[in-house]
Structure 1
Amino acid sequence: MDSASSFTDTQFNKLMQKRIQSVLLISSSYDAFLLEEDGRIEEQIFNEYVSLNLRYPPRFIQVTNAEDALRIVQNEPIDLIISMLSVGGMNPFCLAKQIKNDYPDIPIVVLTPFSREVSIKLSQEDTSAIDYVFCWLGNADILVAIIKLIEDEMNAAHDILTVGVQCILLVEDSIRYYSSYLPIIYRIVFNQSKKFMSEALNEHQKMMRMRGRPKILLARNYTEAVHLYKKYRANLLGVISDVTFTKNNEKYNHAGIELAEMVKKDDPYMPFLLQSSDISVAEVAKSIRVGFLHKYSKSLLQELKQFLKIYLAFGDFIFTDPVTQCEVGRVSNLKQLQEQLFVLPDDSLRYHFQRDHVSKWLKARALFAISDVIKSLSVDDFESLEATKQFIYDTIVNFRISKNRGVIATFDIKNYDRLVKFARIGEGSIGGKARGLAFLNTVLSKKADYLYFDNLDITIPRTVVIATDVFEQFMESNNLYQIALSDKSDEEILDCFVQSKLPPKAHLYLRKFISVIDNPIAIRSSSVLEDSHYQPFAGIYSTYMVSNTDEVEVVLKQISDAIKCVYASVYFKSSKAYMRATMNIIDEEKMGIVLQEVVGQQHNNRFYPTISGVARSINFYPIAPEKTEDGIVNVALGLGKQIVEGGTSLRFSPKYPKKALQLSSTEFTIKDTQKEFFALDMDNTTFKPSVNDGINLQRLSIRTALKDGSLKWLGSVFDHQNNIIRDGVGREGIPLVTFANILKHDALPLASMLQRLLELGQDKMNQPVEIEFAVDLQIPNAKPIFYLLQIRPIVELEEAIGEEVESLDPAKQLIYSTSALGNGVINDICDVVFVKTNGFSAANMINMVPVIEKINSTLLEKDTNYILIGPGRWGSQDPWLGVPVKWAQISGARLIVETAMDGFSVDPSQGTHFFQNLTSLRVGYLTVNRFAGSDYYNESLLLQQPAVYEDEWIKHVRFSKPLLVKINGKKGLASVSNPLF
């Protein structure tokens, strides 16, 4: 198998389409009492179904006479009729004939207590209208067996021949014996099915896989037996046959022996059990190499169970020594088979594989796809048995990977391993971020061919989600709501959370998770409100990383603390401010946790991916020939914190990857490309519970990445002597992050992959999307891997505006922008807070933050919104690119304006969490570059106004009448009126 996607999914949902839903029981009150004993038949059947893990128990309608029976059949949908011998008003066989004439498709079963007199009576009746006669032996199992036998008969042709479900052929004409055998066979089959349900990854899969259980087919004469055998022999697990039964309308003493000889001639390894009341048949059975069961044996039913478990692939698979037949190994599931392949003796493996024992065992467990592969194998196809084992091992691995795609598995301590891609702990909501990741996992599963590239694999990181019910249990068991909802500082709230205890079971699951993961682990928020369609909450809550370099107990403590830190971040000051702005009730917010293997490679004491990025399917600032719908991508070396917090990254359209504005000139490239990158500090002691989730991240020089070899694909060098930039890092010069080998020379199909993903995401969500991703290019001896980390919707603003903005005279406005985001009119703002140009220095921007935060708080207390104007990128965490505010510190702004000054101009903030939240909250967002085009900003007017507040950097002014803001985001135009005109 070349890839996980090579396997065809078994369509369990198409199995067992025909079901018995309504049963008409015709019996005297006394017979009904015999069936019920002291309970209701329906209740007995329901309990029986539940005990066997079956769904859809049928409804029973009980009548005592023929007249009522006919009335019910005429007026209600009936799928099966079970009649006792005592029917008031008519002989049951006559009644059956009458019903069959009008309703030939309804199966009719006669159920009778067993006795010699009854047998004689039956032999004298015309039973042509009766499908089956069964003996009532005092156990409700017989009713389940009757219903399932008829359902199997109804579904056999489709389920066996089309999907590949296995079957067992029972050949028996004795009512007494098949009435005994069938309940036992079904019980064993159902118990087997419960075991192979462990191969399923969640409750839904378990229910579906139950439909893949082997079917039981009953033949009562030679002709029926041969017909069923020939029709279904490719999917036959084995045959259980009587010796004496009807052939050519006559009892024939060797019918079963002839059938056995025919089957063994076709397939000498097909399990076959002869059963007879004549003990001498045992020798015949031995001579033709089939099993034998003596019907008069005191342990008849136990021997039957043993045959089913050993020869029909039920129970564990027992590997035996071919000479001594002693057990040399045992496996219970596919995972164990994978683990044991290189441990089991070669002779035993060869013996079992040559006889198709393993493929039969897999088919009995409804693992049809992988069973077919193993069945078709021959040791002679390979150089050696070792090569065969390696192929089978790889096949199992690929199969298990394929089964995990698109599935949220239930976290199972026994079965969790590296091949489980996405699992959940808990029964509550998995939250918005995890939901987006699960959606991506499903898209990857369904669109594997569309997203396939020869030199780039695509997947999601290994992920476990802790559902919101664990959060609620944590909050309630530790009595945390009171302090969480108080006005305590972030540090006080965090300390209280960290001192609290997670639910005990959580530690068991986390310990298992840690034992499987080799890389560092990211602990990310996934709240109920996060990444929802209309208020994405991007980046509001914390994400922590743990290096995972110490012993399990130490790492367990760090991850537990990190989970508590994320829980606490729900109640930090910034989160509460966001809740107020979105008019949500913080008490309704519930937090899930995403535990995710961090993508990348370790270089000495640091860990990071080669590439991190954010891609958006809509570009609010297209530069010709780009169009809005072509999308935009920001990529950077190292961890994604560089992008989402507004640091310098490379911006390109996936449709035009060779036209990056930042690389359009030598000057631009040197000035506007990444100089630093983020990496995780692998020193385990650097992680401490903190309000700052980046406490153990390193900010490093690009030269460090050059030493690590990470710039091989991304780098260029500036040749100072010749004033030229050369692609690649093999020459002397100043290293630059240009992504030249990827974007200009197609060393990796990154742009094509992103284009397809954005189209798919937008199509599936029916609105623009933002995708976070990472790429590992430094995997030894393997293809690069593209990891999808997150998807969220982008909220589009589509309010209509009256007057067209382009008809306005820019010089008569307070502000005029040709790079605007938003749509609509704002006409209730009188306050403007702005950074003064005169005396401006980028070195002072970090000092402006507390001033702006205080003005914001004062205005919020009065429910007053304002316009915020300043240089560079608002919200950048690089104080040389813009004022490094958090969103909560400017949450009262309705319009944010980013201005350019002489020597200080940066690209707009697309791709950041900060930017995403502004757009989702419908905050107007303008970029004004007075040194290019028709953009205009009349700062002198603002400087002339009396100040509400003013210092050397910031001024707050208030106009007597509201300013009129008009934004046409479709055309990228906006204006703020000049109140003097």
Structure 2
Amino acid sequence: MSENTPQQWNKFYLKDVTFMNLMTRRIFNVLIIANPYDAFMLEDDGRIDEKIFNEYTELGMRYPPTFTQVSTTEEAADVLASTSIDLVICMPGNADNDAFTVARDVKDKFPDIPCVVLTPFSHGITRRMENEDLSIFEYVFCWLGNTNLIMSIIKLIEDKMNIEHDIAEAGVQMILLVEDSIRFYSSLLPTLYGYILTQSQHFSTEALNPHSAMLRMRGRPKVVLARTYEEAMALYEKYADNTLGVISDCRFPKDGEKDSEAGLKLLREIRERNEYLPLILQSSETENKAKAEAEHFRFIDKNSKTMSLDLRAIMAEHMGFGDFIFRDPKTHKEVMRVRTLKELQDNIFKIPYDSMLYHISRNHMSRWLCARAIFPVSEYLKTVTWHKLQDVDLHRKIIFDAIVQYRHMKNIGVVAVFDRGKFDRYAHFARIGDGSLGGKGRGLAYLDNIIKKHPEFNEREGVSVSIPKTVVLCTDVFDQFMESNNLYEIALSDASDEEILRHFLRAQLPDKYIADFFTFFDATNRPIAIRSSSLLEDSHYQPFAGIYSTYMIPNLDDKYQMLQMLAAAIKSVYASVYYKDSKAYMTATSNVIDQEKMAVILQEVVGKQYGDRYYPNISGVLRSINYYPIGDETSEEGIASLALGLGKYIVDGGQTLRVSPYHPNQVLQMSEMEIALRQTQTQFYALDMKDVGGDFKVDDGFNIQKLKVKEAEKDGSLNYIASTYDPYDQVIRDGIYEGGRKIISFCGVLQQGVFPLPELLQMSMKYGAEGMRRPVEIEFACNINADRTGELYLLQMRPIVDSKQVLDEDLTAIDDSKCLLRSHNSLGHGISEDVVDVVYVKTDDNFTASNNPRIADEIERINRKFLADGTNYVLVGPGRWGSSDYWLGIPVKWPHISAARVIVEAGLPNYRVDPSQGTHFFQNLTSFGVGYFTVNTYKNDGIFQKELLDAMPAVDETQYVRHVRFSSPLKIMMDGMKQEGVVLLPSDGGR
């Protein structure tokens, strides 16, 4: 027996280089064929470079992958001429051909470079891809803005390149994923790799030395994706002895045809050969659950809100800690089975001597631990081979001590990446945590990038353009908060919004962020906005505009009181992910709420303090496409909505001033005195600096004051933005004069050049739309000082998802008699031929706007039935849909009308409200291709054959609303560039 001591075998460890030869084929250079915004989103928000840099340096590799972005064949050729590319990622944006063409050119010249497609599965792109030859691509992935998918793609390709060598070299393990649905494997792969890589990351912080950390991470399990029965079986047969587990769909191709039980057949075949391998069946068909459980397979319901949580739980319990069977070396019979690390710890001194000797001498135990991602213990034991230390009892003690050490450290959290030493009043944009910035955070970071790239924004004396001082709490802080407080059960339940908020407010944010928050407070002397920035919100192709909450807190001298308010606000934003409206929106957008992750933006509120209130002179929303051009405006010149005070007023559908930045002198609302007086802003929002309680409510506006414009006049905040109505001379004069009503006209900024806002907005639109390669929406706020200096702050940017359905027909040539509805002022673009239902508000002589809140409730109930049936309808009603002021229209929220395919504002002779452009719904309307029509039949502006609907039998009728159904579909056609829209009656009458 050797007399070696643990101290002595430590020196042998550095010579044990088994793992040095693993993962030798790597991806060093990635070519991304995409528009600049997509590329920025990957590089700056996803921090792909940074994440992979960390892993590579830990692996002792000197050259982490670099990402190069191109948009054209010429650019691709230049890069390929000078760089050896290892992977091409093709991102075909919304529906343009360029990316596919460029990728095909690359593949023609370099057939051996792996090439993958990464695309949003929007309506347009899905149809385009049906006609594309995708055979040149290794894989097609579905892009939902989750940057971890890029990491997963690189790992998947690397695993494919290395698996054969690494299994032969060191017995690395394989997880076999069998799935043919692009949407599902795109969301599953990040979960799988997230689990494996996070484990490795956590362990590396507690590594015995850098060398052990490096070796351990190279031994992580490989993930292999199979898309047919034959491919899966071939992979299993090749690597049967090194398979860690199988995760299989149920319905996928077998023998060239879709087989509804292919997954069951595959798992049965594998179970025949391996009695104890973890086998997981996942299916969206619930009847498969009983079939799976009857054969002792694990089952995951694809429809479950907690699908990825369920998968993570099964991986943690079974794949990481599967059964280890101790055998008698002579008879090969089982002498003991351990299922968990703790069982191994508890039983290590009870295992028979011969069996221990058999397994230690063959290194089985370290391989078992390695396969379960328990790398610290595995690597530790791998160095203590039998020829180095021939003492069974000393081995038992070493294993026992190693497990105790591992179990002690495995719950240590991720260290926050926020440098308190550097964040001061000059700091600009920082993040706390390692996850994603979320949708708004991405847009904000990109805006910051645009401002830096274009110094012309800040060329003028006394004019500054920037984003507000910002700190983002990344999505991993949200994960930690949810898990440590066990909040998923209440969050995913049907509890009321108030009850969910109560649970969240009782929960604890991690104490380790307190010092970071105090540092942020020290760096700013302004109030702080706490905004949602979810993974799906404002994502490139599925904008979640206005679904989650934004709270504001005042800046206080008592920083501990401020900390309490900040913590409550963060928890309230987290809670809003799980409110009823958010869940309804998830259903409407076919997203799984469990995939939602929330980052939180802490941002200085733009404005000035006036006594006990705080607000900016100007807030605005800028859109680079204008669906309501008037006069010599064009659609491409964009449109801005301006208002005094906090921007919540605009989002809530308040009265704003509409102006094209290219035509600042042409303001419709100021063209006639009567219109100017009627359509001017009369109220504004300000932050109440006195409201310092911790009584946070579901309504995020609980400490926002709604004030009359004359209060702003007292504050002296109307300089350069107001005109005065002179009742004696019956004229409106630019500027502020004694007496007379103040009209919010922004005349100083728009017409008198006091501050170059129109030019700055033109630049913002131009550079934003160029970067995203599609129309954008930008929120901004502005402070203008008495000395004509000022600051413009860009608050967020999101794409306007523009449908490109081809519409060849001239809608104006269609005969009026064929139209149920015709609008000459329509929003939306495309054709729809599957709607048979019309829901309309009864507008007889008894109609009064005071009933609008009750009408909203009735419509929400009807909408729920359509959501449940998965069908759509045409919605018609008077005034502005979604206005928070119910005298102007019916105060619905988007989830209450989310099944509508066309929404119609139908004016009445005695109830005339100017068209709203769908304000709050604008992003949702364009995202879902929903039409928004304005019809005023009383002045011969459009057609609405209401009498025809009145004559039809009602499917459903309430006090204020009727629902009728045609026997065959209506044809909806919208021309977005000409603002013409029609709903055609069925050719067969259909009644």
Aligned partner of 2:789 in structure 1 is: 783
Equivalent AA in structure 1 for residue 428 of structure 2: K
Equivalent AA in structure 2 for residue 816 of structure 1: R
* CA contact 1:616–1:911 (8 Å) conserved in 2: no
Q: 1:807 aligns with which of 813, 820, 823?
A: 813
Residue 440 of structure 2 corresponds to residue 433 of structure 1: yes
Aligned partner of 1:822 in structure 2 is: 828
Shift of the 687–730 alpha-carbon distance from structure 1 to 2, 3 Å rule, reads farther
* CA contact 2:457–2:464 (8 Å) conserved in 1: no
Aligned partner of 1:309 in structure 2 is: none
Instruction: Give the drift of 1:454.
Output: 2.6
* CA contact 1:948–1:956 (8 Å) conserved in 2: yes
Aligned partner of 1:949 in structure 2 is: 956
Q: TM-score, normalised by structure 1?
A: 0.58
Aligned partner of 1:630 in structure 2 is: 637
Instruction: Give the drift of 1:713.
Output: 1.3
Equivalent AA in structure 1 for residue 892 of structure 2: V
Equivalent AA in structure 1 for residue 810 of structure 2: E
Shift of the 482–812 alpha-carbon distance from structure 1 to 2, 3 Å rule, reads same
Equivalent AA in structure 2 for residue 525 of structure 1: S
* CA contact 2:568–2:694 (8 Å) conserved in 1: no
Q: 2:764 aligns with which of 757, 766, 784?
A: 757
CA-based RMSD of the aligned residues comes to 2.7
Q: 1:701 aligns with which of 685, 708, 728?
A: 708
Alignment of 1:10-409 (within 5 A): none
Aligned partner of 1:244 in structure 2 is: none
* CA contact 2:625–2:639 (8 Å) conserved in 1: yes
Aligned partner of 1:610 in structure 2 is: 617
Measure the CA separation in 1 of the matches of 2:485 and 2:61.
43
Alignment of 1:582-597 (within 5 A): 582-597=589-604
Instruction: Give the drift of 1:37.
Output: 11
Measure the CA separation in 2 of the matches of 1:887 and 1:421.
34
The SS at the match of 2:749 is: helix
Measure the CA separation in 1 of the matches of 2:469 and 2:436.
19
Equivalent AA in structure 1 for residue 532 of structure 2: S
Measure the CA separation in 2 of the matches of 1:662 and 1:38.
80
Instruction: Give the drift of 1:859.
Output: 2.7
Equivalent AA in structure 2 for residue 893 of structure 1: A
Summarize deviations over 1:558-579 as a string: whole Å, max 9, x none: 1111111111111111111111
Aligned partner of 2:683 in structure 1 is: 676
Shift of the 37–493 alpha-carbon distance from structure 1 to 2, 3 Å rule, reads closer
Instruction: Give the drift of 1:681.
Output: 0.8
* CA contact 2:588–2:867 (8 Å) conserved in 1: no
The SS at the match of 1:787 is: strand
Instruction: Give the drift of 1:513.
Output: 1.3
Aligned partner of 1:527 in structure 2 is: 534
Measure the CA separation in 2 of the matches of 1:785 and 1:709.
18
Residue 575 of structure 2 corresponds to residue 554 of structure 1: no
* CA contact 2:906–2:936 (8 Å) conserved in 1: yes
Measure the CA separation in 2 of the matches of 1:37 and 1:601.
62
The SS at the match of 1:539 is: coil
The SS at the match of 1:685 is: coil
Measure the CA separation in 2 of the matches of 1:55 and 1:749.
53
Q: 2:877 aligns with which of 854, 870, 880?
A: 870
* CA contact 2:935–2:941 (8 Å) conserved in 1: no
Residue 791 of structure 2 corresponds to residue 797 of structure 1: no
The SS at the match of 1:571 is: coil
Summarize deviations over 1:782-809 as a string: whole Å, max 9, x none: 9310001000000101112464322112
* CA contact 1:686–1:696 (8 Å) conserved in 2: no
The SS at the match of 1:684 is: coil
Measure the CA separation in 2 of the matches of 1:411 and 1:904.
55
Shift of the 936–486 alpha-carbon distance from structure 1 to 2, 3 Å rule, reads same
The SS at the match of 2:455 is: coil
* CA contact 1:615–1:758 (8 Å) conserved in 2: yes
* CA contact 1:811–1:936 (8 Å) conserved in 2: no
Residue 848 of structure 2 corresponds to residue 848 of structure 1: no
Measure the CA separation in 1 of the matches of 2:771 and 2:60.
33
Shift of the 912–717 alpha-carbon distance from structure 1 to 2, 3 Å rule, reads same
Shift of the 421–649 alpha-carbon distance from structure 1 to 2, 3 Å rule, reads same
Measure the CA separation in 2 of the matches of 1:826 and 1:550.
58
Shift of the 931–657 alpha-carbon distance from structure 1 to 2, 3 Å rule, reads farther
May I ask how many residue pairs the two structures share in their alignment? 591
Structure 1: any 5+ residue segments left out of the alignment? 1-35, 44-48, 60-408
* CA contact 1:897–1:928 (8 Å) conserved in 2: yes
Q: Percent identity?
A: 49
Shift of the 903–667 alpha-carbon distance from structure 1 to 2, 3 Å rule, reads farther
Instruction: Give the drift of 1:54.
Output: 12
Measure the CA separation in 1 of the matches of 2:737 and 2:724.
8
Equivalent AA in structure 2 for residue 823 of structure 1: H
Instruction: Give the drift of 1:661.
Output: 0.7
Summarize deviations over 1:633-671 as a string: whole Å, max 9, x none: 000000001111111000000010111111110000000
Measure the CA separation in 1 of the matches of 2:750 and 2:910.
28
* CA contact 2:726–2:740 (8 Å) conserved in 1: yes
Equivalent AA in structure 2 for residue 830 of structure 1: V
Residue 454 of structure 2 corresponds to residue 447 of structure 1: yes
Runs ≥4 residues deviating over 6 A: 36-40, 53-59
* CA contact 2:425–2:524 (8 Å) conserved in 1: yes
Q: 2:983 aligns with which of 973, 976, 979?
A: 976
Residue 858 of structure 2 corresponds to residue 837 of structure 1: no
Q: TM-score, normalised by structure 2?
A: 0.57
Shift of the 737–903 alpha-carbon distance from structure 1 to 2, 3 Å rule, reads farther
Shift of the 58–863 alpha-carbon distance from structure 1 to 2, 3 Å rule, reads closer
Aligned partner of 1:514 in structure 2 is: 521
Instruction: Give the drift of 1:910.
Output: 3.6
Measure the CA separation in 2 of the matches of 1:509 and 1:459.
23
Measure the CA separation in 2 of the matches of 1:766 and 1:804.
28
Measure the CA separation in 2 of the matches of 1:508 and 1:902.
61
Instruction: Give the drift of 1:861.
Output: 2.3
Equivalent AA in structure 1 for residue 471 of structure 2: V
* CA contact 1:687–1:695 (8 Å) conserved in 2: no
Aligned partner of 2:421 in structure 1 is: 414
Instruction: Give the drift of 1:932.
Output: 4.8
Equivalent AA in structure 1 for residue 761 of structure 2: L
Equivalent AA in structure 2 for residue 895 of structure 1: V
Q: 2:651 aligns with which of 644, 651, 664?
A: 644
Measure the CA separation in 2 of the matches of 1:942 and 1:686.
52
Measure the CA separation in 2 of the matches of 1:56 and 1:742.
58
Aligned partner of 1:503 in structure 2 is: 510
Shift of the 581–39 alpha-carbon distance from structure 1 to 2, 3 Å rule, reads closer
* CA contact 1:822–1:967 (8 Å) conserved in 2: yes
The SS at the match of 2:434 is: coil
* CA contact 2:754–2:788 (8 Å) conserved in 1: no
Q: 2:752 aligns with which of 724, 745, 750?
A: 745
* CA contact 1:909–1:915 (8 Å) conserved in 2: no
Shift of the 732–480 alpha-carbon distance from structure 1 to 2, 3 Å rule, reads same
Measure the CA separation in 1 of the matches of 2:883 and 2:693.
25
* CA contact 1:642–1:678 (8 Å) conserved in 2: yes
* CA contact 1:810–1:934 (8 Å) conserved in 2: no
Structure 2: any 5+ residue segments left out of the alignment? 1-12, 21-52, 64-415
Aligned partner of 1:173 in structure 2 is: none
Aligned partner of 1:766 in structure 2 is: 773
Equivalent AA in structure 1 for residue 937 of structure 2: R
Shift of the 410–912 alpha-carbon distance from structure 1 to 2, 3 Å rule, reads farther
* CA contact 1:410–1:423 (8 Å) conserved in 2: no
